[in-house]
Amino acid sequence: MTIKRIAIEQLMVSIDTSKGSDLPSEPSATTQHLTSQQPPNADVPAPPDHTPEHMPEAKPENHSVTAIYAQAQEAVERIFEDLERGIPPSPEATKAIVSNVLSQVLNNRAAMTTQLAIQKIKQFDRSLTTHALDTCILSLVVAVESGLDQTAQEQIGMGALLHDAGYVRLPRNLVRKREECSGQDKTLLEQHCKLGVALLSEQPGMHEGVLCIVREHHERSNGSGFPAKLGNDQIFHLAQIVGIVDFYDGMVSRRGTRQAMIPHDAVRQLFLAGEQGLFEKSLVELLIRSIGVYPVGSLVRLNTGEQAVVIGVNPQQRLKPLIKVTTDPQGGSYTTPIDIDLATPSPDHTIRTVLRVLDPSKERVNIGIHLDQGLSRAA
Domain residue ranges in the chain:
3-15+30-55+295-378, 62-291
Q: What is the pTM of this model?
A: 0.81
Phi-psi region of 297 (alpha: psi -120 to 50; beta: other; left: phi over 0): left
Higher pLDDT, 241 or 108: 241
Burial of 90 (C-beta count, 10 Å sphere; 0-12/13-18/19+): middle
pLDDT in tens, 211-238: 999 999 999 999 999 999 999 999 999 9
CA distances from 164 to 225, 260, 273 (A): 15, 20, 21
pLDDT band at 347 (very low <50, low <70, confident <90, very high): confident
Burial of 45 (C-beta count, 10 Å sphere; 0-12/13-18/19+): buried
In angstroms, rounded to a whole number, what is the distance separating the alpha carbons of residues 221 and 276?
Answer: 10
Instruction: Specify the amino acid at residue 356.
Output: R
Bridge partner list, 160: none
Is the pLDDT at 48 greater than 50, yes or no?
no
Fold of 62-291: Hypothetical protein af1432 (1.10.3210)
pLDDT of residue 258: 75
> Which residue, 98, 177, 90, 168, is CA-closest to 139?
98
CA 172 and chain centroid, separation: 25
Average pLDDT, the chain: 83
pLDDT in tens, 237-263: 999 999 999 999 999 988 767 788 999
pLDDT of residue 374: 56
Crossing angle of the two packed helices 128-146 and 109-122, in degrees rounded to 10 = 150
